Amino acid sequence: MGRVSHPNYKMSIEFIVKANEGHILIQASGSISTADIKEMRIKTVELLNETGIKNYVVDLSKLISIEELSTYTTYMLGKEFKNIKFPLSTKTAVILPVEEATREQVKFMHIVEINRMRGPLEYVTSYEEALEWFGT
């Protein structure tokens, strides 16, 4: 559907609407910033409002790092998630980063989001496993 990018980081975030399959695929790679994460959240809500699709596959397997992300910043990103009013009825399957430190940052952010009323989230190891989890 579109590519969101930030000029100061070597990164890519791509949104692919798979309407016939009932989900949206979000792929992030390289290094991203906290601003990129906020921008990604805004685009995700926009796509939800445009399409009505509530299942998301977030492939972070090629994500190398999240810049500027201290424990406090990670916590605040997770806490701010509720402000975007992402419906509880959404389901998100996440393919975690291979990079261990980045994987731990992502997991911590998700814990904070879930504690702030995030809809169901499942860690999966492949795109196919994500589709199975959705029941498609």
Give pLDDT, residue 25: 97
C-alpha R_g of the chain: 14
Locate the domains of the chain by residue range. 2-134
pTM of this prediction exceeds 0.75: yes
* CA dist 128 → 15, 50, 91 (Å): 17, 25, 15
**Whole-number average pLDDT of the chain:** 87
User: Of 15-19, 30-34, 56-60, where does mean pLDDT reach its minimum?
Assistant: 30-34
SS3 of the chain: helix, strand, coil, percent, to 5: 45, 30, 25
- Amino acid letter at 66? I
Q: Helices (DSSP H) in 31-126: which residue ranges?
A: 34-51, 71-80, 100-115
CATH number for the domain whose boundaries are 2-134:
3.30.750.24
Average pLDDT over residues 30-45: 89
What pLDDT, in 10s, does the model give residues 68-125?
Answer: 768 888 888 888 888 888 888 999 999 999 999 899 999 999 999 888 888 899 999 9
User: Do 102 and 64 touch, CB atoms closer than 8 A?
Assistant: yes
Helix 71-80 to helix 100-115 angle (10° resolution) is 40
Give pLDDT, residue 130: 97
Tokens of 100: 């261990």
